[in-house]
Chains A and B, each alone.
Chain A
């Protein structure tokens, strides 16, 4: 696993926009995460070279921001809000239903590689509580245990196209897990 010369060139160019190299760290980390689905250890060394932040300092950033992750996730990542508005509207039951539907703990990948469920701090969707977020882009509102179960089933039914972006990657990760 390593970034290609072309990718490194692109990141260097981006970092050059900032007065300090380390300001480009978040961009680089997102870039790596978009490529692999998560940020592997080896990539920290690469980003460290580019930004003059040490791997530990990059890990400080990653662990602080919930949208960055150091572990692989399933094809679909579902975040379900557990902050106060959603909690009062029943997010606990939604989370419990989601966990039961994927059959593994929060943060782990379901056996078929389809879904990872994560509890999340406030997503800013309090008006539609209990709320969720799929793949950091698609928002879900007024969730119920039934709705989340249906959603997870539909994701599980998606055919895994090994040619699709990230498909190979996930297959490789699952192979490692077995």
Chain B
């Protein structure tokens, strides 16, 4: 804390502020381009100029760049009063505008453009240079980001974000002097899960949102709200923008306490699933559209005389909805669960019980030693971006993983011994070894790093960790000491909340009651049991029943099988409360209403008896405390009582080959329906380490294919050789798991299959934009 003076006006600053930060805090409108609070100052745009006021005799006033000066007590500057500084800014902007096209009226960024604002602010209005403008070729950057190279003012923010902040390496600054272009070496989509942020950091219209382009609206005409990202358990703050009852774009809600400035591409593009052409928007009973209100149809459906009900909530539905469903189940005397897979339920609950000291993203960034178990990037990208910040500062990041992972690749590049591939069944043993090393005095290697760290952070991916590993990681945290923090990436946005409302073994109970015929009707809200881990078992069980009522906003497999379909609101279309991986309760607000009315999940409370309503209220209060956080605020963290967990059989160490999951960063139940994002889904393959293939006596190259057999099911996939896959494992996608009806850790038999053509496959230069589902010719906008 301290005070400096700008134009004789006292300006308070915070520790770590530079002069520009302090001025912005005091609402002094200093122009700037290259500075960004997360990316730091480079002083290259020369626009944030102020003039120093000499404090000693003989000193001359100097023009300085305020972003590069650390704020110090008693500093004095002239800004508006200065004769020189505004001239410097104005001249610099004039230079930028000699090359920048005057296309604001047709530019996507127009009206929401930093360059436009600064140009107006410094008063540059007339172009004196009568030479020609330079033009540059645009590059095709895949389905998510659009490039208009002429608009670039070479502030380098994009590359500073992409390479320096997010540690990407497939996008860079090409050329020198006045011939600089920001490009990838080849056309096509970015590799980084955070590429969309270059749209946000770009102060001009050089990089714009390609999905937004196709359903464009001027940004001041968008309806916006403070919402929460529903596509992983981190719970980033986002701001959806909508118009005419359709979602147009999603941007990070800046300065949020959770994710600060950025979101991942899944968070930015997955919400467009709400505009999928096949989204259910019509109440249907037995395939026939109905005109009655959704709630009336639901009430009618639930009143069928011969039905014995089961109720299913979900980790992607909010806390209140799950509580309402739980009480509805109580009213109907029906079993209730918010999970589709018993194994995931047990793992999630075990992880939630141990998440009481979970680190925030800022804690992770500031940590001096991080241990990651599982492929974090592919499950919780923003959590991994925080890990990258520690990695960038040279802090040790240790990783145990079983399939190919972006983070592991980065760690290996720096220090090859700090990322280890190992089959998940062996992780517990490795962690136990670390624990015994830590309890004995002579710790070395990983144990020493963890022991000597001041703020160690342990992170796990609950979905892929056997329960024993989750417990071992917690034990490790306890052995390291109270200063360590332990957190888990959970399977869905509200998994923490879903765990609070489900009884021990609830999903197994519901499933067996269906299978035994004890119940013959199921109400499903916001879940897709038929395509999850137990998809086949659910499909068989649900095929037998007469009443399957599904409330959802995606055209999921379960919706397709339903007897009654009730369309519900997507997250940006409703209010609600999520609990993130830290136990942070965050509420989100509705940005817009659809033209065709859909069921708002909060209306479901209308199905309850008055007793049940009171129970919901009291439970909500005991769970979340009295004060509900307001949308956009960081919310408060709850520390719930320990959950009862129940039992489930885990995979055991066998002599054969185990199946592990190969995820990718754009993958999630709803995200699969966002056309543009889903078009980047990697082709299915079976990942295997070359050394392990050799040990099995398989001679493989990039044209080989392998046939996988699990429990009599067979699937043939092309081989992806990667040293990042653990010995004793092969890695396949969720789709392949579903096809094989397999579970994580199942044993698989491998046989060589017919090779692909001997000719090496031609690599397409441009990533083909092939919509995987639905018609996208009108950009997903409904006519």
Contact = CB atoms under 8 A, between A and B. Distances in A.
Contact of A59 (B174, B176, B177, B413): B174
Contacts of B184: 56
A121 B170 CA distance: 28
B175 interface: yes
B171 A56 contact: yes
A41 B763 CA distance: 13
A55 B170 CA distance: 7
Of listed B163, B170, B176, B185, residue having the most chain A CB within 10 A: B185
A56 B185 contact: yes
A64 B170 contact: no
Interface string A39-53: 001001000000011
A54 interface: yes
Contacts of A64: 174-176
A41 B177 CA distance: 24
Nearest to A44: B185
A44 B172 CA distance: 15
Interface string A117-144: 0000100000000000000000000000
A149 to B, nearest CB: 29
A57 interface: yes
B185 A63 contact: no
Nearest to B413: A52
Nearest to A48: B169
A19 to B, nearest CB: 14
A107 B169 CA distance: 29
Nearest to A60: B172
A43 B169 CA distance: 17
A60 B173 contact: yes
A44 B170 CA distance: 13
Given A52-B413, A56-B184, A56-B185, A63 B170 contact: no
Contacts of B172: 56-57, 59-60
**Which bracket fits the contact residues of B?**
10 to 19
B766 to A, nearest CB: 15
Interface string A20-55: 000000000000000000000100100000001111
Give the one of B169, B171, B173, B184 with max A CB within 10 A: B169
Contacts of A53: 169
Nearest to B176: A64
Nearest to B191: A54
A21 to B, nearest CB: 10
Given A52-B413, A55-B185, A56-B184, A63 B171 contact: no
A56 B176 contact: no
A56 B175 contact: no
Nearest to A54: B169
B170 A60 contact: no
A44 B184 CA distance: 13
Contacts of A57: 163, 169, 172
Nearest to B163: A57
B179 to A, nearest CB: 8
A41 B186 CA distance: 10
A60 B169 contact: no
**Which of A41, A54, A57, A64 lies at the interface centre, i.e. has the most chain B CB atoms within 10 A of its CB?**
A54
Contacts of B185: 41, 44, 55-56, 59
Interface string A56-73: 110110011010000000
**Which range contains the number of A residues in contact with the other chain?**
10 to 19
Interface in B120-179: 163, 169-177
Contact of A63 (B169, B176, B413): B176
A146 B184 CA distance: 42
Which of the listed residues B163, B172, B175 has the most CB atoms from chain A within 10 Å of its own CB? B172
Contacts of B171: 56
Contacts of B173: 60
A39 to B, nearest CB: 12
A178 to B, nearest CB: 22
Interface in B172-205: 172-177, 184-185
A106 B163 CA distance: 33
A106 to B, nearest CB: 14
Contacts of A121: 177
B148 to A, nearest CB: 20
A18 B176 CA distance: 26
A64 B180 CA distance: 9
Q: Which of A55, A57, A63, A66 has the most CB of B within 10 A?
A: A63
A63 B177 CA distance: 11
A79 to B, nearest CB: 16
Interface in B437-492: none
A63 B179 CA distance: 10
Contacts of B163: 57
Contacts of B169: 53-54, 56-57
Contacts of B176: 63-64, 66
A60 B173 CA distance: 6
A44 B173 CA distance: 16
Nearest to A21: B413
B374 to A, nearest CB: 25
A54 B170 contact: yes
Contacts of B170: 54-56
A122 B287 CA distance: 76
Interface string B759-771: 0000000000000
A66 B163 CA distance: 23
B416 to A, nearest CB: 11
Nearest to A59: B185
A56 B158 CA distance: 14
Nearest to A70: B185
Interface string A63-89: 110100000000000000000000000
B413 A60 contact: no
A60 B413 CA distance: 20
Nearest to A121: B177
A59 B181 CA distance: 12
A121 B175 CA distance: 13
Nearest to B181: A63
A111 B376 CA distance: 55
A33 B170 CA distance: 22
Nearest to B412: A52
Contacts of A55: 170, 185
Nearest to A65: B176
B364 to A, nearest CB: 25
A146 B177 CA distance: 31
Nearest to B414: A52
Contacts of A52: 413
Nearest to B175: A63
Contacts of B174: 59-60, 63-64
B145 to A, nearest CB: 15
Contacts of A41: 185
A57 B168 CA distance: 10
A57 B172 CA distance: 6
A64 B413 CA distance: 24
A54 B185 CA distance: 10
A38 to B, nearest CB: 15
Contacts of B413: 52
Contacts of A66: 176
A54 B176 CA distance: 19
A12 B285 CA distance: 69
Contacts of A56: 169-172, 184-185
Contacts of B177: 121
Given A54-B170, A55-B170, A60-B174, 12 more contacts: A53-B169, A54-B169, A56-B171, A56-B172, A56-B184, A57-B163, A59-B174, A59-B185, A63-B174, A63-B175, A64-B174, A66-B176
Interface of A: 41, 44, 52-57, 59-60, 63-64, 66, 121
24 contacts: A44-B185, A52-B413, A53-B169, A54-B169, A54-B170, A55-B170, A55-B185, A56-B169, A56-B170, A56-B172, A56-B184, A56-B185, A57-B163, A57-B169, A57-B172, A59-B172, A59-B174, A59-B185, A60-B172, A63-B174, A63-B175, A63-B176, A64-B176, A66-B176
User: Which 6 A-B pairs have CB atoms at the shortest separation, nearest pair first?
Assistant: A54-B169, A60-B172, A63-B174, A56-B185, A63-B175, A56-B172
